[in-house]
Structure 1
Amino acid sequence: MNLLCPRFPQRPALVLDGGAVLSYSQLQQAVQSFKLHWQARELVFLLLDNDLSSMVSYLSALAAGAVPLLLAAGLPEHALRSLLDRYQPECVWLAASRQAELPGFDAVLSQGGYGLWRRRQPMSPPPGPLHPDLALLLATSGSTGTPKLVRLSAQNLLSNADSIAQYLQLDEHDRAITTLPFNYSYGLSVIHSHLRVGACVVLTRLGLFDGAFWPLLRQQQVTRFQGVPFTYEMLLKLRLDRLDMGSVRSMTVAGGRLAPERVLQVHQSCQAKGIDFYVMYGQTEATARMAYLPPAQVGLKPDSIGRAIPGGQLGLIDEQGEAVSEAGKTGELIYQGPNVSLGYAESRADLQLGDTHQGVLRTGDLARFDAEGCFYIEGRLHRFLKIHGVRVSLAAVEQLLEQRGLAAAAWGVDDRLCISVQAPDAAGLPVLRDELAGLLNVNRSTLSLHALPALPRLDSGKIDYPRLSAAV
């Protein structure tokens, strides 16, 4: 599979930290040269960062017909070991300094601070062949070594990239900048959609709060900016309305819910700058995107995810599995489209499986639609607790606190609701506990509130709930 647009060989494909530029022709040559190190239908682990070596290793693995699992360059050793034991890859690509973490593998190549290691002895018994449609593996959360992976095909990747490029109206004159991790489905979809149309990607490891990031964005005339809700919460604190966005002409948010009032704030700042702001919705299980709200509707429906992307369909089903046809009624959100993944994997044996989703994804999100066919997420189907018989939505609790200006995360088990609040101390928590107990109609003894200086987050900006529960 080749993700590189062949129509503009001399146009810039990548801009690297330091200012070096690679044309599409030069990037294609680098991919063709590197792909000789891979074998077709072998499983490879790629621990990646937003740099040239990572990009070439990934694109060349796809081109060679190998099946990569994308992981963060900084994946902890214990998480890497767990995945190695469970999936038994033939090759691993990671930072050269981590060689000691790969007993039983021999060094094949060293390049750009990374190394390629190949398994020393064949596995016994040999694993079964990877399914012929399997092209890529991603962790369900885009994160930290969870053994549950999403199996993606070439059709999934190409159809979703083309759909995103269509509704964002990307072309060869666009420039994106890497504001998200390479191994995160949202960040990866930005790379795919731009390379498919001949646009340019500015590859940088700089974060939004590095002093050099914004001058780089302006210097390189970036036209497309993307972020998760946490990104925009921070930009609003930095006074987005006063921030010089240079040549940026569209901004997108996905990867979770951005509060409607924040959506309006970002939309208004973008309008004043002549920038289009898109609200998007997706899951790794659908490669990346499933729905989007066009800029013209953001000011009117800031709490909506909009409609299905080109080539896809959205619908609802009730608890009996029947289609919901009445506007305003809630049901589980169902998506159909060519970007729906093949299914999940939890072991090497699962990589032999075919398409278990059959183009239909039950998202696990509760939603409704309005008279104009726009959809609204109401919460997660399984993010509910029963508190002495009272059904409590964890998402609703978090939104309630958000409306009070508090960054908080809700979690727990039945009859025990835990809430972690980002605060310097616990001074105000007893009063907040009483207030929440009344609002939720539960006994205050079932509520446990904790103050944390900062909520733990994944590289994608999402709250790290497992680490949160361990912290308290």
Structure 2
Amino acid sequence: MNVPLVSRQYSQRTALIAEDGRMLTYEALHASIGQLAADLPARQLVFIVGENDLPTVLCYLAALERGAVPLLLSRSIHASTLGALYDAYRPAQVLIARNAAWAPPGATLVREMEDYGLYDTKAKTDGSTPALHADLAMLLATSGSTGSPKLVRLTATNLVANATSIVEYLGLTPDERAITSLPLNYSYGLSVLNSHLRAGASVVLTNRSLMDAAFWRTLNAYGATSLAGVPYSYDMLLRLRLARIDMPSVRTLTQAGGRMRPEKLRDVAQICEKRGIRFFAMYGQTEATARIAYLTPADAALKPASIGQAIPGGRLSLERADGSVIETAGETGELIYAGANVSMGYAECAADFALPDVNRGTLRTGDLAHFDEDGAFFIEGRLHRFLKVFGIRVSLDAVEQLAAELGFECAANGTDERLVIHAVAPDSHSNSEAAPSVAWAQSLRSELAQRIGVHASAIVVKPLAALPRLPAGKVDHACLASLS
């Protein structure tokens, strides 16, 4: 199953650049992919426990070339979590750092790749690897679920369709050069790699944080033209004074991975406009391979609360609870997306790898939205992120937005008996611990109670120095639930 993600039109152009300066042309990349693919098992599951480096990228691309089915996982994944995933899914091979805390039991080393080892597992040798559907090409963990066995099943068509669409609406050419500012095991980070290799462009590989001065030295040394970030990334960029960051080669910024506050999005859009940088705000889900909708640079300042329009080749619509289609501007319903990038569905156990395509090109996003007279879509919240506190329906997304308008970064969860607000202390950005005074927490509790219309006794505000986050920057709601 050859997945034609990597361009064959530009053999002598640079495809990948490692942080240490090593470069692979497209010709060399294809040669490396072919050599590694020979060591991979066709139509078998392969775990790739890596990061933003050459061995990880080469193994991922070689697996697609060979027709193996890769599952991308973070090199920082906890050993117990990785062991549980291994036991649940029984991969035939595992690529993992040779000094990792966990190793596949009874495995045989097949190949060394820098500090990684590619191992045949007992599941391969004893024939207990799971059966795979003929269309299954790769697997990704759903956002925030890397600690659970729930995976998204993707096809070759999904990968190519989404990469092609991104190339089109971002106008990617072989002259573009991205830098890996997000993990490759995260669908957004992976889409940056896929789309640039599809366009014949190049990608600079680094694991460094935006807060690391070496990241910016690497970006400037190799002339990266674009940078991708989630809302938390833009919090950091604004803290670093985005208007003055030295990045002369950058001409495009993109944002996805969660909703950015409209006023902050408008600020970023205006800064980018002044600097001559295109800024695209995007909306997507792992279940749609990555991207679903995008907001053009022109609309980012005009409609910062909108997700814009469907990506090329896709279609957005709204449905009422009874399944009828909404055709009136301003009316709220569930956002439905249709396109060739919609996944086959989920896998929650090894037997699910053999399941057929249950989505059939249509994804119920679980998001509530409306569209305006211009056809621009606006997300209002999650369909199931609601509580019924004292009989009053409360949107957790709306609560977080209210708190943001009051100047607080927070995450909301809880039960119908208790709304829990984990909020960052106002001066926590300059201190390692939450502020000792909780007067602000009491004030926030009272203000939210008044605005929501529930008694303050139903609201608990828990001060934190910082919200716990997943590697891609999203809030770790599972961690917060354990603190509630």
Give the aligned partner of residue 149 of structure 1. 151
- Answering whether residue 97 of structure 2 is matched by residue 95 of structure 1, we say yes
* Local SS of the residue matching 2:343: coil
Give the aligned partner of residue 339 of structure 1. 341
Determine which of 60, 63, 67 is the counterpart of 2:62: 60
Give the aligned partner of residue 314 of structure 1. 316
Which shifted more, 177-186 or 114-123? 114-123
Counterpart-to-counterpart distance in 2, 1:165 and 1:107 = 38
Counterpart-to-counterpart distance in 2, 1:244 and 1:34 = 38
Give the aligned partner of residue 76 of structure 1. 78
1:160-309 pair list within 5 angstroms: 160-309=162-311
Contact conserved, 2:51 with 2:183, CA < 8 A, in 1?
yes
Give the aligned partner of residue 461 of structure 2. 449
* Local SS of the residue matching 1:435: helix
1:127 deviates by 5.1
Counterpart-to-counterpart distance in 2, 1:320 and 1:373 = 22
Q: CA RMSD in A?
A: 1.4
Counterpart-to-counterpart distance in 1, 2:78 and 2:102 = 13
Determine which of 104, 107, 121 is the counterpart of 2:106: 104
* Local SS of the residue matching 1:246: coil
Counterpart-to-counterpart distance in 1, 2:235 and 2:412 = 19
1:461 deviates by 0.5
1:332 deviates by 0.1
Counterpart-to-counterpart distance in 1, 2:337 and 2:481 = 31
* Local SS of the residue matching 1:162: helix
Change (3 A) 1:229 1:378: same
Give the aligned partner of residue 464 of structure 1. 476
Counterpart-to-counterpart distance in 2, 1:276 and 1:382 = 34
**CA offsets per residue over residues 116-157 of structure 1, 9 Å max, x none?**
121235587845520010001000116523211000000000
Change (3 A) 1:99 1:215: closer
* Local SS of the residue matching 1:326: coil
Give the aligned partner of residue 435 of structure 1. 447
1:105 deviates by 2.0
1:359-378 pair list within 5 angstroms: 359-378=361-380
Contact conserved, 2:90 with 2:123, CA < 8 A, in 1?
no
Runs (5+) with no aligned partner, structure 2: 426-433
Which shifted more, 20-29 or 164-173? 20-29
Counterpart-to-counterpart distance in 2, 1:369 and 1:439 = 25
Counterpart-to-counterpart distance in 2, 1:142 and 1:393 = 20
Contact conserved, 1:175 with 1:223, CA < 8 A, in 2?
yes
Counterpart-to-counterpart distance in 2, 1:123 and 1:363 = 40
Runs (5+) with no aligned partner, structure 1: none
Contact conserved, 2:388 with 2:416, CA < 8 A, in 1?
yes
Determine which of 24, 31, 36 is the counterpart of 1:29: 31
* Local SS of the residue matching 1:138: strand
* Local SS of the residue matching 2:118: strand
Counterpart-to-counterpart distance in 2, 1:16 and 1:94 = 18
Counterpart-to-counterpart distance in 1, 2:375 and 2:261 = 21
Counterpart-to-counterpart distance in 2, 1:384 and 1:101 = 41
Change (3 A) 1:41 1:414: same
Q: Output the amino acid matched with 1:443.
A: H
Give the aligned partner of residue 160 of structure 2. 158
Counterpart-to-counterpart distance in 2, 1:186 and 1:263 = 18
Q: Output the amino acid matched with 1:406.
A: F
Contact conserved, 2:90 with 2:128, CA < 8 A, in 1?
no
Counterpart-to-counterpart distance in 1, 2:410 and 2:122 = 48
Counterpart-to-counterpart distance in 2, 1:72 and 1:128 = 22
State, as a whole percentage, how many aligned pairs show the same letter: 51
Change (3 A) 1:108 1:263: same
Counterpart-to-counterpart distance in 2, 1:81 and 1:21 = 34
Which shifted more, 126-135 or 409-418? 126-135
Q: Output the amino acid matched with 1:150.
A: V
Give the aligned partner of residue 420 of structure 1. 422
Which shifted more, 124-133 or 203-212? 124-133
Calculate the TM-score normalised by the size of structure 2: 0.95
Give the aligned partner of residue 429 of structure 2. none
Contact conserved, 1:163 with 1:310, CA < 8 A, in 2?
yes
Contact conserved, 2:387 with 2:393, CA < 8 A, in 1?
yes
Calculate the TM-score normalised by the size of structure 1: 0.98
Determine which of 7, 10, 21 is the counterpart of 1:8: 10
Contact conserved, 1:143 with 1:460, CA < 8 A, in 2?
no
Counterpart-to-counterpart distance in 2, 1:206 and 1:299 = 30
Counterpart-to-counterpart distance in 1, 2:447 and 2:300 = 32
Counterpart-to-counterpart distance in 2, 1:100 and 1:223 = 37
* Local SS of the residue matching 1:14: strand
Counterpart-to-counterpart distance in 2, 1:72 and 1:142 = 12
Which shifted more, 303-312 or 124-133? 124-133
* Local SS of the residue matching 1:150: strand
**CA offsets per residue over residues 416-444 of structure 1, 9 Å max, x none?**
11010111233321122112111111121
